[in-house]
């Protein structure tokens, strides 16, 4: 399961970051999840609970912020946020683009905890 290995990586990163910042208790992880990351939000939440079991951050919550797909259209020289990630086309001129600016990321951006 794809999400489980991602959950393990997030847990590992959170534990290392907590140690570096001398946090005793981690309450939550805030994660940015792009709609085009290929990760299913519910599956990641489920996997996260499994991945934290028996670790020092067991019981921590996973807070997921979904990031919409943002593209750059070279025809219009404009950035657009797409409401639907598929197809990846400029909403104004309808030309295809492979310049994805946001929406593919899986990023741990904040740890909520006590020092």
Given the complex with Zn ion, which of 9 and 75 has the nearer CB atom? 75
The contact set with Zn ion (CB under 5 A) reads 73, 75-76, 90, 92-93
Rounded to the nearest 10 degrees, what angle do helices 41-52 and 2-20 cross at? 60
Q: 81 or 93: whose CB is closer to Zn ion?
A: 93
The answer to whether 73 is a known ligand-binding residue is yes
Report in angstroms how near the CB of residue 34 gets to Zn ion at its nearest: 21
8 has binding-site annotation = no
Using an 8 Å Cβ cutoff, are 52 and 60 in contact? yes
Q: Is 61 annotated as a binding residue?
A: no
List Cβ neighbours of 73 (8 Å cut-off, separation of 6 or more). Answer: 79, 80, 90, 92, 93, 95, 97, 99
Annotated binding-site ranges for Zn(2+): 73, 76, 90, 93
């Amino acid at each position: 399961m794809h999400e489980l290995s991602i959950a393990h990586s997030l847990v590992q990163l959170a534990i290392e970051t907590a140690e570096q910042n001398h946090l005793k208790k981690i309450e939550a992880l805030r994660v940015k999840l792009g709609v085009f990351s290929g990760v299913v939000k519910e599956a990641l939440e489920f996997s996260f609970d499994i991945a934290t079991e028996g670790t020092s951050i067991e019981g921590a919550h996973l807070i997921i912020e979904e990031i919409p797909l943002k593209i750059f259209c070279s025809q219009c020289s404009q950035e657009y946020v797409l409401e639907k990630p598929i197809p990846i086309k400029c909403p104004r001129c309808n030309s295809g683009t492979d310049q994805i600016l946001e929406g593919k990321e899986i990023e741990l951006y904040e740890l909520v905890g006590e020092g």
